[in-house]
Amino acid sequence: MDPVSGAPVVRKSDGTLTVAVPQRLSGENGKLIEVILDEPIWVRTENGVLQVAPQHYYYGINWGYGGSGPGSLALLIHRLLDDITAPAADTIIGAPDGLDELTQLAWPLEQVLTRETLEAARQGRAYRRPTPRSKEDGA
């Protein structure tokens, strides 16, 4: 059992945990309130429960470049904003342009994207974009 998410895991001999990733989330925890861009990507619901983001067995989710990972993540976010129990993205197209743009940005690791930010992007409204890190910041 993963100590953070409670998800089933396989523990390797070196101590590494490999987590089983859900293809859907339970609806009992309420609506999506934030997505956390990390490794893996996390979803927090309105009652504070943190869960590994659902992922299709074929289409991975990711951010920060123009490709299939960000496309799948954009579609997943689009679905979860409407229904937390929606299935994982089973394609890389279909999200609104604003969510596609948002997931292609080079957000830093551990970036929290609030529901307000996600809704703004989905509706094509302005939202706060990541600021590039300078060498003085350790980039």
Q: How many domains does the chain have?
A: 1
- Closest of 50, 48, 56, 47 to residue 7, by C-alpha: 50
Asked whether the whole model's pTM tops 0.85, one would answer no
How many CB atoms neighbour CB 28 within 10 A? 10
**132 belongs to a structural domain:** no
The Cα–Cα gap between 128 and 139 comes to: 20
Query: Which pLDDT band holds residue 138 (cuts at 50, 70, 90)?
Result: very low
At 133 the pLDDT is: 55
**65 belongs to a structural domain:** yes
pLDDT, the chain, mean: 89
The range of the structural domain enclosing residue 75 comes to 22-126
The rounded percent of the chain whose pLDDT value lies above 90 is: 67
**1 belongs to a structural domain:** no
pLDDT over 50 (residue 135): no
The rounded percent of the chain whose pLDDT value lies above 70 is: 88
